[in-house]
Every structure is written in C-alpha cells, then in structure tokens.
Amino acid sequence: MVSADTVHVTGNGMEPDEPWEWLAAGWRDMLAVPGISLTYGVGFTLVSLGLASTLFLLDVPHLLLPLSAGFMLMGPMLAVGLYETSRRREAGEPVSLRTALFVPVKNPTQLAYLGVILMVVHLIWIRIATLLYALFLGTRPFPGLEDSIGILFFTYDGLGLLVIGTAFGGVLAAAVFAVTAFSVPMLMVRDVDAVTAVMESVQMVRRNLWPLLVWAWLIVMLTAVGIVTCFVGLAITFPLIGHATWHAYRRAFDGVRPE
C-alpha cells in the first residue's frame, strides 16, 4: 500500500490529452492480466443483464435508463479490485485473482460510508426519473422500446421528459463524478475519512477542470458503448475504466504519469 496517509495534492497543471495516457496505461494493465480484468468485466456484464431482465419481467422497462446511470454511480465502488491490481503491477507486487477479490482496503469503514451514500443517490435518481415520467406521460403504461422512441422525440410531452430528464441526470452525474473521481482509490490506499477524500476529489476536479472533463467524457462514451451493445461491451469497457482510474489517481495525487 501507499504508506503516506497525508494527502499531497500534485495534480495542478494537468494537460487535456493526459486522460488518453491513463486509458493507454489501463489497456496495458488489461493485456497483462486479462483473466482478472475479464472476470470483473464479465461479472459486471452478467449483473447488468440480470437487472435489465428483471425490469422487463416486472414490466417497468422505463427504469432502464436511470438504472444505466447507476453504472456510473456505483462503478467506482465496484472497481476497487481493478485499482488494486493496477497498483500491484505498478509496484512490482504479485497479482492474482485472490488479491483482486480480497483487497486490503486502508479504510474500509469510510469506503463503506461512501458506498451507502452513492446507493442512496442512485435510489433518489430512480425516484426522480419515475416522478418525471409520471409528470410528463401520466399514468399511461410504458409503450415499449420502439414506440417510446417516437414519443420521446416527436411529441411535446416526450421532448419535455427528454430535456428535463437529461438536465437532471447531467447535473447529478457531474456532481457524482466530482465526488468519486479520486475519492474511492484514495480511501483504498490512504487512512483518511470519507469527507476528506470527497473534498480532495472535488478540489482536484475544480483545479483541473478541462482535462477531467475530457476524462469524464471518455468514461461516459465507454460506458455508453458498453450499454448499447446490450451490456456485452461492459466486459471490456468496465475493467478498462477501472484500471485507467488508478493511473488517473496516481497522476493527480502522486504526480506519476504513466510511462
């Protein structure tokens, strides 16, 4: 583990193209440990498919979009094993599926607190999405995926739902990104509390807004690719983002750029 528990901010002056370096380093990690990476990726894909199938069985497929937003909300928490794998590779320590699944988190209680908060935020977002659906479309049943496209893009009610829902989701996603961009890996390796980790993450995003906007955009695009491929693409994009996030954290708080 990184021994220093005091947070030293070194990430000022990031360049807008640096997120591509993080992705490249994450890709190298994936190629080096494909078994671990794909175990996480396939597991995440299967869980996603199971949740999506459950929504259709319960006849609430309109919750599929807010559920998809949950991938970006909870993803950082679920990728701790990927961070640890990248950390171990960087430090020259042995790597195995066991070390990826049983991570000796520096501050597990505080990490759990952050996870609970993110889960509550996700539940609030699902509730907001349900209320917006009722506000714009009333109590009519969900028309199905094909008909819903016509309603969303070619009716006033649908356009209103699309615009307002996207605005709400965008604001929530931006806030969650700022909170979780670096706080989860920080809690994994440093003995700090959740509030400190969150504040340091938000401050780092504020100080390096443009490079981290590029990073957020890349995360959104990769996640979208994973989702539109019926979640199958998440088997690749989820571990890629996870490995790359460790290198983003190292650049931000330890000043180490990938080689």
pLDDT in tens, 111-170: 999 999 888 888 888 888 888 888 887 776 666 656 666 677 777 877 888 888 888 888
Q: 259 and 247 in contact (C-beta within 8 Å)?
A: no
3-state secondary structure of 156: helix
Give the chain's residues under pLDDT 70.
1-12, 62, 71, 140-150
Q: What is the pLDDT of residue 3?
A: 40
Domain ranges in the chain are 27-254
Q: What is the pLDDT of residue 153?
A: 76
Q: What is the pLDDT of residue 2?
A: 42
The tokens describing 180, both together, are: 């979780």
Half-sphere exposure of 81 (CA within 13 A, CB side): 22
* pTM confidence score: 0.87
Portion of the chain with pLDDT greater than 90, in percent: 52
The tokens describing 151, both together, are: 């309603």
Burial class (CB in 10 A: 0-12, 13-18, 19+), 252: buried
Give the C-alpha separation, 161 to 133, whole Å: 7
